Structures are given as C-alpha cells and as structure tokens.
C-alpha cells in the first residue's frame, strides 16, 4: 500500500491502526523470541522453516504498510467556521436519492465501509459531493448508472 500522498483518517481510525501495529510488533517479538526451525531437514529444506519464513515475510509486509500509514496519516478535522457549510472530509451528509433519504459519512479510503455508510472521498459519490452545499443537486456517475441527488443537510461531528 506504500503511497506518496497523505492518508486521511479519523482519530478513531488512527487509534485502530496504532493498536493493530503495536499488536503485530508484539507478535513478531514473540515469534522471534522462540525457537526458530532449522533451515535444513536431512538434505532437504525444512517445511517448518519455509512456513516460518513465509509467515515472517507476510508479517514484515503488513508492518511496513502500517508504518507507511502512520507516517502519512493526517487527522480529519472539522473545517473552520464558514467552510463548514461545504461538504468535506468528516462531513455527515444527508441526501435525497431515488426518493429515499440516505446519510453518508465522508472519510478517507482507509476507513471507507459502504455497508456502514462510510464512503471515501475518492469514491464516485464522495468526489461528486466534495465542495457542494445544502440544497445543491449533484450528479453521481457510477460504472452502471448516473444518479441525481439533492444534498439535504451537512453536519460535522
């Protein structure tokens, strides 16, 4: 996941990443403290050693991903007064879409979870909403269909 840009996260999202990173560091320390299987078993490579190496490589890759996130993380903050009338990261937006009212929280890609109505600022809906105001009609294009929705409310937690 190594990226060059900022990674936008909520306080809760950053805490989750920090906890998981710490847990993986502790797991790596426990795994390397114990007895490491020998490389050779008779004249062939020891399957236990190969499995150990594969696990360690996967663990190191995951740790590197978390380190990248932690270095590039930028906390999503409530916009200053006057800009809080526009949709931005961290906005809870109520939309009238296809005759129904839907609420979405605009988050960074790391925390996006459409089932929990958390959408990424880089998703088609997220991109279409950014910078818009209450009352605006927004056209959201997806690969399948184009929706027109109206922004009912914008709030920040």
How many other CB atoms are there within 10 angstroms of residue 55's CB atom?
A: 13
pLDDT computed for residue 108 by the predictor: 95
Indicate whether 114 pLDDT > 70.
Answer: yes
Q: How far is CA 110 from CA 5, 16, 94, 98, in A?
A: 13, 11, 22, 28
CATH fold label, 91-156: Chitinase A; domain 3 (3.10.50)
pLDDT at 9: 96
pLDDT confidence of 39, banded at 50, 70, 90?
Answer: low
pLDDT at 3 over 60: no
Task: Reply yes or no on whether the pLDDT at 8 is more than 80.
Answer: yes
- In this prediction, residue 125 carries a pLDDT of 92
CA nearest 108: which of 117, 98, 97, 119? 119
Position with higher pLDDT, 8 vs 33:
8
Residue boundaries of the structural domains of the chain? 7-75, 91-156
Closest CA to 125 of 103, 110, 100: 103
Q: What is the pLDDT of residue 48?
A: 80
CATH topology of domain 7-75: Helix Hairpins (1.10.287)
Sort residue 109 into left (φ over 0), alpha (ψ -120 to 50) or beta: alpha
Say yes or no to pLDDT of 79 above 90. Answer: yes
Asked if 98 and 147 touch (Cβ cutoff 8 Å), the reply is yes
pLDDT at 2 over 60: no
pLDDT value of position 36? 67
- Cα(155)–Cα(36) distance, rounded to whole angstroms? 54
**What pLDDT is attached to residue 147?**
85
Q: How far apart (Å, rounded) are the C-alpha atoms in residues 55 and 50?
A: 9
pLDDT category, 42, cuts 50, 70, 90? low
Place of tokens 């818009």: 132
């Amino acid at each position: 996941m190594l990226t060059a840009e900022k990674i936008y996260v909520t306080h809760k999202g950053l805490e989750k990443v920090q906890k998981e990173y710490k847990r993986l560091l502790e797991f790596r320390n426990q795994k390397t403290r114990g007895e490491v299987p020998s490389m050779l078993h008779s004249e062939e490579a020891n399957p236990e050693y190969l499995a150990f190496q594969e696990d360690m490589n996967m663990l190191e890759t995951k740790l590197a991903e978390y380190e990248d996130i932690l270095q590039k993380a930028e906390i999503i903050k409530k916009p200053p007064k006057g800009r809080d009338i526009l949709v931005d990261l961290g906005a809870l937006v109520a939309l009238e879409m296809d005759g129904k009212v839907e609420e979405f929280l605009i988050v960074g890609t790391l925390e996006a979870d459409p089932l929990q109505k958390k959408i990424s600022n880089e998703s088609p809906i997220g991109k279409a909403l950014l910078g818009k105001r209450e009352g605006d009609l927004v056209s959201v294009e997806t690969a399948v269909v184009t929706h027109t929705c109206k922004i009912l409310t914008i709030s920040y937690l």
